[in-house]
Amino acid sequence: MFDPVKFIEEQTRLIKEKIGDRIAVIAVSGGVDSTVCAILTYKAVGERLVTVFIDDGLMREGEGEQVISFFKQQNMKARLVDARDEFFASLKGITDPEEKRKAFRNTFYSVLGRTVREENATCLVQGTIAADVAETIRGIKTQHNVLEQIGIDPEGYGLTIIEPLREIYKHQVREVARSLLLPKEVSGRKPFPGPGLATRVLGEVTRERVEIVRKATKVVEEETEDIGAFQVMAVLLNDRATGVREDKRAYGHIIVVRMVRSEDAMTAEAMDVPWETLKKIERRLTTEIPEVVHVLYSLTDKPPATIEFQ
């Protein structure tokens, strides 16, 4: 049986031992994994932890500000790094999903590496969980935060990597979050991929296309707060459909809505959602985002699909 209290005690002690009197940086996203890691590390080394939110332009609406203000409320050092231009420049012209993940990861570590140096830190704390490692080993996807994939040994750069959650799964991370008395918005927060909305924009990731998915995501999330999904999402397809607006032909975007139930993200089941809910989402998407003329619902479980589209 997993014991969150014991886990917290043990990890706090281990983190303290590993960091010693050095400075540590953690890139936080607002998700339960990185938040739990940040709080554990803060318990271990206090002011010697700098939490950083890297604004990659791929997060949901208002996410950066919310995350920074949460950590400031805990009296922790929190810094927002605006790297939007760098991310969009690195993703320009790329359509292959794995290439996009790699471009994202390279930019992520280039920005993070610079931030680590600016803070004079020699420790990097990461919220990698067991599922991230398992999927990487199985070669399914390039996870942005699994360092082994970069092919460089961070220790060779004098950087100590600390991954307190590497052995545990999402539901256990949530138990730890509740045990740390983190608010429900954190302990119950739905997973969101590291590369953010980039995994939900098929084809080229541009500011304009991300903006469509950002608006669609907000609608889908608002309409599904109470359905108990593991994850809900809106995905922009890399094709268009003929539609009709005010009696004229409109060649517009296609959005796929996906909602899944899952325990640990290793397998997932497409949800049986009431038709009224789906129709309400569809109506909001096609009225609030005029560029969208067609909405689809994803029926496929994982496997054979994955939770994200790419």
Q: Please, which residues bridge with residue 232 across strands?
A: 259
Tokens 């490692």 -> residue: 133
Beta carbon nearer to ligand XMP, 4 or 127 = 127
One residue of 100, 102, 141, 214 binding ligand XMP per CB under 6 A: 141
Least Å distance between CB 205 and ligand XMP? 14
Residues in contact with ligand XMP, shown as a per-residue x/- string from 250 to 289 under the rule CB under 6 A: ---------------x------------------------
What is the rounded end-to-end Cα distance, in angstroms, of the chain?
Answer: 34
Least Å distance between CB 131 and ligand XMP? 6
The CA R_g of the chain, rounded to the nearest whole Å, is 20
Return the range that interacts with ligand XMP (CB under 6 A); candidates 82-90, 92-100, 191-199, 251-259: 191-199
Beta carbon nearer to ligand XMP, 46 or 303 = 303
Beta carbon nearer to ligand XMP, 57 or 252 = 57
Beta carbon nearer to ligand XMP, 11 or 34 = 34
Using CA atoms, how far apart are residues 99 and 47, in angstroms rounded to an integer?
37
4: three-class secondary structure by DSSP = helix
One residue of 133, 134, 135, 207 binding ligand XMP per CB under 6 A: 135
Residues in 86-115 at the binding interface with ligand XMP, rule: CB under 6 A: none
One residue of 107, 145, 224, 286 binding ligand XMP per CB under 6 A: 145
Beta carbon nearer to ligand XMP, 57 or 191 = 191
Task: Give the count of residues interacting with ligand XMP (CB under 6 A).
Answer: 17
Which residue intervals of the chain are DSSP H helices? 4-19, 32-45, 63-73, 84-91, 97-118, 130-137, 170-179, 184-187, 207-223, 275-288
Tokens 């886990």 -> residue: 7
Least Å distance between CB 302 and ligand XMP? 5
**Burial code of 257-276, b = ≥16 C-beta within 10 A, e = fewer?**
bbbbbbeebbebebbebeee
Least Å distance between CB 143 and ligand XMP? 4
Beta carbon nearer to ligand XMP, 144 or 253 = 144
One residue of 63, 163, 223, 308 binding ligand XMP per CB under 6 A: 308
One residue of 97, 164, 195, 252 binding ligand XMP per CB under 6 A: 195
Beta carbon nearer to ligand XMP, 144 or 294 = 144
Return the range that interacts with ligand XMP (CB under 6 A); candidates 11-19, 149-157, 194-202, 288-296: 194-202
Beta strand 49-55 with 24-27 is: parallel
Q: Which of 279, 281, 262, 278 is nearest to 270 (CA)?
A: 262
- The 8 Å CB, 24+ separation contacts for 281-286 are 281/219, 281/220, 281/223, 281/224, 281/257, 282/257, 284/219, 284/223, 285/216, 285/219, 285/220, 285/234, 285/255, 285/257
- Note whether 113 and 119 are within 8 A (CB): no
Binding residues vs ligand XMP (CB under 6 A): 132, 135, 141, 143-145, 191, 193-195, 199, 231, 265, 302, 306-308
